[in-house]
Amino acid sequence: MPLRVEDLVVSYGAVEALKGVSLEVPEGQIVAVLGANGAGKSTLLRTVSGLVRAKAGKILYDGQDLQGLPPHQIARLGIVHIPEGRRVFATLTVEENLNLGAYGCPKEEAQRAKDRVFRLFPVLRERRRQLAGTLSGGEQQMLAIGRGLMRSPKLMLLDEPSLGLAPLLVEQVFATIVRINKDGVPILLVEQNARKALEIANYAYILEVGKLTLSGLAAELAQDERVREAYLGGAAYEKRVKLGRDNAH
């Protein structure tokens, strides 16, 4: 089991952001965590990657407890965190951003990783000398994912990769996530686009105000009435979609 989180409690002052959260990311799978703004999704990823310290609980990666390890040591174990909002270095070129992702890696390994990124995202090869801040939102998201891939991750934490992207780019980003996973990288995906996340995930958890309220196979949760009403629009949404289709013919 690449990642196991047990009874995780995280507080910001007097406010508990995570209240005894337990979840697993099995080898080779995509696991989605869904929830509204403020549910604690980003806090979960930030705690796994060491950016936030837990008050209680365990974070086990291949059996090793990550609690107390600094972020750079966790990254060296192969855990890569792609943060919400992309966070590329705007004043550096595409290639310089990628090089920073491979900081400390042997030169040959870094070059192989870069070649892989350019195969996955041909537009980044075309724009390798362009400043990252001048890329479109979708291209910046590709760069953020590509920068993470420069470390040849063993586990990828993805925080809201579709945020702010046009529908066509959302499709491309999710297709890329599937390709990365098929290459053998397990993924913990935090996402507000519940419909797309459940389409590609193997398993999913619902996080509400710091507590896990529901979990199961992604395909089953997509049909669960509680999930459909809260996150997929429910019957009212489907009725509007059907009406739109009927009006188009």
When pLDDT is averaged across residues 192-220 and rounded to a whole number, the result is 93
Both tokens assigned to 181: 């996973």
What pLDDT score does 233 carry?
Answer: 63
For residue 235, pLDDT beyond 90: no
Angstrom distance (rounded) from CA 84 to CA 218: 22
Is 140 part of a structural domain of the chain? yes
Angstrom distance (rounded) from CA 236 to CA 232: 10
Domain containing residue 150: 25-52+71-248
Is 111 part of a structural domain of the chain? yes
State how many domains the chain has: 1
Q: Mean pLDDT over all residues of the chain?
A: 88
Is 12 part of a structural domain of the chain? no
Q: Quick one: which H or E segment has residue 207?
A: strand 203-208
Is 172 part of a structural domain of the chain? yes
What is the per-residue burial (b if ≥16 Cβ within 10 Å, else e) of 210-224?
A: bebeebeebeebbeb
Is 2 part of a structural domain of the chain? no
Threshold 0.85, pTM exceeds: yes
For residue 85, pLDDT beyond 50: yes
Indicate the SS3 state at residue 192: coil
Percentage with pLDDT > 90 across the chain: 63
Residue 1: band (very low, low, confident or very high) from pLDDT cuts 50, 70, 90:
low
Indicate which CATH number applies to the domain containing 184.
3.40.50.300
Is 90 part of a structural domain of the chain? yes
Is 9 part of a structural domain of the chain? no
Is 138 part of a structural domain of the chain? yes
46-63 tens-digit pLDDT: 999 999 999 999 999 998
Q: Strands 56-61 and 64-65, how do they pair? A: antiparallel
CB 151 within 8 A of CB 102: yes
Cβ-Cβ contacts under 8 Å for 191 (sequence gap 6 or more) = 32, 33, 34, 158, 160, 161, 162, 197
